Structure 1
Amino acid sequence: MTAAPSLEARAASLSFLLLLCFWRDPGVGAKELKFVTLVFRHGDRSPIDTFPNDPIKETSWPQGFGQLTQMGMEQHYELGEYIRKRYGKFLNESYKHQQLLFLPFKNCPRFQELESETLKSEEFQKRLQPYKDFIETLPKLSGYHGKDLFRIWSKVYDPLFCESVHNFTLPSWATADTMTKLKELSELSLLSLYGIHKQKEKSRLQGGVLVGEILNHIKSATQPWNLRKLIMYSAHDTTISGLQMALDVFNGILPPYASCHIMELYLEKGDYFVEMYYRNETNHEPYPLTLPGCTPSCPLMKFAELVAPVIPQDWATECKLTSKHEVLRLILAIAFCLVSSILVVLVFTLIRHGPCWPRGSYRDI
């Protein structure tokens, strides 16, 4: 016969059972990274083009215009090292390369209308006013006679900036004050491209397309069958700014070389959260970005709800790609198809059944 357990033993057993009831695996509910999207700008490059009076011609650049420089390669290498450090334990060695995007989308008539409206808007003219006298001096100095800010950015400021980075001697008129004005005009050009006037509608036609694609990938990452862990977009300053304008987190400054917009999906206590960061300095950890209306760690459902207004449902229709001329062409194409179909049926009938007149009459001839 077994002796009954002592009071102390029963108390110890009860304490152990209570401990088991309240104990949980420390890994359960811990914040877990599930998916990452990176949109980064290319590194330092030679100018895409230059102005007529520029003494530095394409031959001065070893690889010609629009090519990554040694400095740019080093910037990419540094960014790659940071990405490996941040996600090395999260990723495996599998990698798939595709060409995925380019912003701004050019073939969008409605966006072109909005661009034109922006340039005429009171807000844009107000911002441009302080630079009008300066813009009037540029044709004589640079030899470039256009007044389109986007072209001034690409044909005047960009080559001068690239030359200054690589220690070329700039024209005497390209003073520090001139370079500051050109930089501010370039930033105004970028801002006017995606914002200032009807920003949400512009975003639906540009950066919102990318937002929608990224959101779809994020949602897919919540499914058990998903194996993809990271999508990386190699992009331009216009791509990053277009994305950030659509998300309403743009700081108004031209994205520097090798800058990177980071979006991370986390699972914590059964719920998904989206966090965003912007890496625009090599000697500083990425800066947290907060989607307006949410918290730095934004619940996925709330994130999707807040970005929904800038995601197009039918991009072609919103761009007004179906013009009257295209409608006419479509009608003619449909008519041609119908006529062709009728002819095919007639020919098939003639081949299968012969002429429509009686066979007897044919024999009597």
Structure 2
Amino acid sequence: MTEQTVPLVIQDCCGDIFQRLSELIVSTEKLFRHGERSPTETYPNDPYKNFNWSGGWGHLTNRGKLQMYNLGLKLRTHYKDFLPELYWPEEVNVTSSYADRCLMSAESLTAGLFPPKGPQVWNHDLLWQPLPIHYLPRSQDNMIAMKSKCDKYDAMFNDVMISQKVQNMLSSNEKLMEYLSDNTGMNVDSLGIVETLFNTLEIEKLNNLTLPLWLNATLMETMEKLGAQNLALYSETEFMKRMKGGVLLKYIITCMEKSLQGKQEPLLQLYSVHDLTIVHVLRTLNLVDTIKPGFGASVVFELYSDGQVKIIYRNSWDGAAEEKNIYSCISPCQLIVFKQALEPVLPTDWMEDCKIQTAS
């Protein structure tokens, strides 16, 4: 591993770091939302419900694969001063959600990031090399897909969904939901259904499919906002944030602390995740109220040798960078202050915290 100077580490949640700095990196943690996918669901009146999506429903589109490949090329250019040309497993680690679209995104990105060179060329007709992609089954993953069962979280989420706040949201959008129900041929009675419907329509639009006449830009914008509100409900309380985004943030902070202590960490750790993962992290950081991350959206945590942390967000794989302040700490913020600010949303014993306490 080549010895470097400042900054010690860049932790990147869900995305990319394409802001060029003269004094770059020794270690990077990078999480990014997967690339463009095909719809996961359709609706009864969908003129494209029998559309032959390449790769199948819910998988990366060809454009999504290219987005992730280009992301890998950009990472290679951006990190060329510290990242070795040859892939070594001790220096690069790739972790993904269980979902095929995330696994395929990781594979596409690493194809652009680490094309084989020199002794690693194994087929001169195919300048590609396989990199190991690690993942946990959906039911065991509480950090990336965040689907591990947590009884106390589930109970709290159910309370949120029947809360007066949600009932008011449904009531204020009753006419919209009736309109959507009449035109889609299905019962649209929740924010979750609105979000899923928006996702399907957005992807059809991105793929140059003509949208139904009952749909217009204003309605799409309203549905997108409701979709963002639906995503936010999954981290409505401090406890819910601790059980979701807090797990990942605690891991990132631990990695940064190890780097400052001089312990060997991979130069680059990549994590291929979902939009809800990003929402959990941003809301746990108190950086947003509602947001609908685009394909390839990212949050970047940069740690410098003096212990300062900087956060950068991009809302798509090639979006503009937005530097974010952390709670009341102006960026860049000292890691110790960052950790102290996040203490209420960092879990101590996740399994124990998930238990519902019963009266004796």
Task: Name the residue aligned to 1:120.
Answer: 162
1:318 maps to 2:344: no
Q: Residues 98-113 of structure 1 correspond to what in structure 2 (within 5 A)?
A: 98-99=134-135, 101-105=143-147, 107-113=149-155
Label 1:70 to 1:28 Cα distance change in 2 as closer, same or farther (>3 A): closer
Relative distance call for 1:180 and 1:32 in structure 2 (3 A) is closer
Q: Is the aligned partner of 1:304 residue 2:339?
A: yes
SS at match of 2:27: strand
Establish whether residue 51 from structure 1 lines up as the match of residue 89 from structure 2: no
The partner residue of 2:311 within 262, 272, 276 is 276
Moved more, 254-263 or 276-285: 276-285
Contact conserved, 1:47 with 1:162, CA < 8 A, in 2?
A: yes
Alignment of 1:1-365 (within 5 A): 33-92=25-84, 93-94=87-88, 95-96=92-93, 97-99=133-135, 101-105=143-147, 107-154=149-196, 156-195=197-236, 198=237, 200-250=238-288, 252-267=290-305, 271-280=306-315, 285-320=320-355
User: 2:135 & 2:83 partners in 1: Cα distance?
Assistant: 21
Amino acid at match of 2:209: F
> How much does 1:238 deviate?
0.5
Q: Which amino acid aligns with 2:324?
A: L
Counterpart AA for 1:76: M
TM-score, normalised via structure 1 length: 0.73
TM-score under structure 2 normalisation?
0.74
Gaps of 5+ in 1: 1-26, 328-365
Return the alpha-carbon distance in structure 1 between the equivalents of residues 218 and 303 of structure 2: 43
Identity %: 29
Q: CA–CA distance in 2 between the matches of 1:91 and 1:79?
A: 15
Partner letter of residue 135 of structure 2?
A: Q
Specify the code of the residue in structure 2 equivalent to 1:74: L
The alpha carbon displacement at 1:287 in A equals 1.4
Cα distance in 2 between the residues matched to 1:139 and 1:215 = 45
String of CA shifts for 1:261-296, please: whole Å, max 9, x gaps.
1112110xxx31111111225665521111112121
How far does the alpha carbon of each residue in 1:102-138 deviate from its partner, in whole angstroms, 9 at most, with x for none? 3342512222222222233344444444312111232
In 1, Cα distance between equivalents of 2:52 and 2:318 = 31
Return closer, same or farther for 1:298/1:134 CA change in 2, 3 Å cut-off.
same
Q: 1:284 to 1:204 in 2, by over 3 A?
A: closer
CA distance in 2, matches of 1:261, 1:319: 27
Pair member with larger Rg: 1
Aligned partner of residue 304 in structure 2, secondary structure: strand
What is the count of residue pairs matched by the alignment? 292
* Closer/same/farther in 2, CA of residues 59 and 89 from structure 1, 3 Å limit: same
Query: What CA deviation, in whole Å up to 9, does each residue of 1:312-348 have, x standing for no partner?
Result: 1121222226889xx9xxxxxxxxxxxxxxxxxxxxx
- Per the TM alignment, residue 254 of structure 1 is displaced from its structure 2 partner at its CA by 0.6
Give the number of the structure whose residues are more often helix, by fraction: 1
Is the Cα–Cα contact under 8 Å of residues 46 and 61 in structure 1 kept in the other structure?
Answer: yes
Distance change >3 Å, CA 28–CA 301, structure 1 → 2: closer
* Counterparts in 2 of 1:44 and 1:320: CA distance versus 1, 3 Å: same
The aligned counterpart of 1:343 is none
Q: Is the 8 A contact 1:103 1:242 kept in 2?
A: no
DSSP 3-state at the match of 2:323? strand
Q: Counterpart of 1:332?
A: none
**Post-superposition shift, 1:54?**
1.1
